[in-house]
Amino acid sequence: MKKNALFLASIAIALASCNTGPKFKSIEEEAAYIHNKVFTVDSHTDTPMSFSSKSFDFSKDNSASGRSKVDIPRMEKGGLDGIFLAAFIGQGPRNPEANLKAKERVDNIIKSIYVEAEKNKDKTGIALNSKQAYELEKEGKRALFIGIENGYPLGNEISLVETYHDMGARYITLVHTKNNDICDSSGDTTEYHGLSAFGEEVVKEMNRTGIMIDVSHASDESFYDVIALTKAPIIASHSCARALCDHNRNMTDDMLKKLAENGGVVQMCILSDYVKTPEPQPERDSARMAMRERFKNYEDLDEAQKAERRKEWYALDSIYPQKLAYVTDVVDHIDHIVSIAGIDHVGIGTDFDGGGGVTDCNDVSQMGNITLELVKRGYTEDDIRKIWGANLMRVLYEVERLAKK
């Protein structure tokens, strides 16, 4: 009898020890706890396009002006620990003179990121690897990573891959909405049926130098060529599941499977048109097309013209209001990606300031709403840690490790 009593007592102690975690009064409280605890990183924002504007201050909340969806105060409010700031270069003519201009632009954008980091060094720091990012988090600072959106500035100079690595770029999105000298775009007609000969060299050189290969915007054939050639895991910095939204910018189930086999990660984009097929708005589409035609390449505009274009672009949202997707739709995609690729191969890349945003997560201050929906659907703290940053940091580490070999 005494032995039974001791046995029961030991069971009671064991059960009690399993329930020593925090108790929550609500699911919202639990989600907030998890969101604040895990390392959170957004793999794609176009915020550096605003750094050259005198009307934008990265250190202040710009929400009232509608100027941007990202700044330090709102990163703090939204509990975002790290962010990839993309040096975006729109596709232009493919000739030596235009390539040089594109290179000069990307150089200036990267320099502007360092300037902002230095100006706000009490709250931010440049991160070149996952270790530095985690150290910045411990210091209570936001980690600023650098990415390059569009390999256009490379022209045909393979040496620039290493140059951009040395400048701090930790991924290069191979292509944007039009083909370049590297590969075919998902938004253009077929030119190479995937990677060009130069593109194959770029993939190898990115592996060698330790830059993550980003296949967002690449055509399906380009994706498969990269998968067949790369020796390191790859990323899609801002893409969704095509099974849920049939858009050429999104990834098919087979692509998701191949990405998982590669050890890579797809970062869930929250640009509404890629999350949920929008209702037809021909007037809005025509107005946007006319505006694009009038202003041509954004990178060729002076500051006054850029400001005018931004003003007109945002005005169209008021004239032709669009029904945006919701966080529930975003997490539907995450559910699907997890079911196809697994929990280790999904993350978040909002595309804020490049069109990203849904109804209830329309700037960086609202990032916690994604965590709340994940908790509601039964994702564990460890799952959420992986989705919010650990998966991407694992890929970054692995790409660096393989490069050192």
Calpha distance 348→237 (Å, rounded): 8
pLDDT value of residue 295: 82
Calpha distance 236→259 (Å, rounded): 9
Structure tokens that stand for 158 in this block: 């393979």
Structure tokens that stand for 251 in this block: 């990834």
Between 354 and 20, name the one with better pLDDT: 354
Name the amino acid, one letter, at 344: D
- Region 232-252: mean pLDDT is 99
Structure tokens that stand for 361 in this block: 């997560």
Tell me the HSE value of 354 on the side-chain side, using a 13 A CA sphere. 26
Domain 26-278+323-404 CATH (choose: 3.20.20.140, 3.40.50.10190, 3.30.70.1450, 3.40.50.300): 3.20.20.140
- Region 114-129: mean pLDDT is 99
pLDDT value of residue 4: 55
The dihedral through the CA atoms of 319, 329, 396, 230 has a sign that is: negative
pLDDT-based confidence at residue 1 (cuts at 50, 70, 90): very low
Computed over every residue of the chain, the mean pLDDT equals 93
CB 372 within 8 A of CB 26: no
pLDDT value of residue 20: 61
Structure tokens that stand for 144 in this block: 């600023």
pLDDT-based confidence at residue 18 (cuts at 50, 70, 90): low
Look-up of token digits 């975003």 = 330
pLDDT value of residue 299: 65
pLDDT-based confidence at residue 195 (cuts at 50, 70, 90): very high
Structure tokens that stand for 290 in this block: 């006319």
Percentage of the chain modeled with pLDDT above 90: 81
Residues in the chain: 405
Calpha distance 402→230 (Å, rounded): 11
Q: Name 17's bridge partners.
A: none
> Backbone phi, then psi, for 71, in 5-degree steps?
-160, 170
Is residue 10 over pLDDT 70? Answer: no
Is residue 154 over pLDDT 50? Answer: yes
pLDDT value of residue 156: 97
Burial class of residue 143 in the structure, from the number of CB atoms within 10 Å of its CB (0-12 exposed, 13-18 middle, 19+ buried): buried
Structure tokens that stand for 296 in this block: 């041509």
Rounded to two decimals, the pTM is 0.91
Q: What are the tens digits of pLDDT across the range 273-309?
A: 999 998 888 888 888 888 878 887 766 777 778 778 8
The dihedral through the CA atoms of 175, 44, 232, 333 has a sign that is: negative
Mode of pairing for the β-strands spanning 82-88 and 265-268: unpaired
Is residue 395 over pLDDT 80? Answer: yes
pLDDT-based confidence at residue 384 (cuts at 50, 70, 90): very high
CB 183 within 8 A of CB 220: no
SS (H, E, C) the chain: CHHHHHHHHHHHHHHHHCCCCCCCCCHHHHHHHHHHHCCCEEEEECHHHHCCCCCCCCCCCCCCCCCCCCCHHHHHHCCCCEEEEEEECCCCCCCHHHHHHHHHHHHHHHHHHHHHHHHCCCCEEECCCHHHHHHHHHCCCEEEEEEEECCHHHCCCCHHHHHHHHCCEEEEECCCCCCCCCECECCCCCCCCCECHHHHHHHHHHHHHCCEEECCCECHHHHHHHHHHCCCCCEEEEECECCCCCCCCCECHHHHHHHHHHCCEEEECCEHHHHCCCCCCHHHHHHHHHHHHHHCCHHHCCHHHHHHHHHHHHHHHHHCCCCCCCHHHHHHHHHHHHHHHCHHHEEECCCECCCCEECCECCHHHCHHHHHHHHHCCCCHHHHHHHHHHHHHHHHHHHHHHHHC
Look-up of token digits 């005018």 = 308
The dihedral through the CA atoms of 273, 279, 281, 284 has a sign that is: negative
Q: What are the tens digits of pLDDT across the range 44-87?
A: 999 999 999 888 999 999 999 888 999 999 999 999 999 999 99
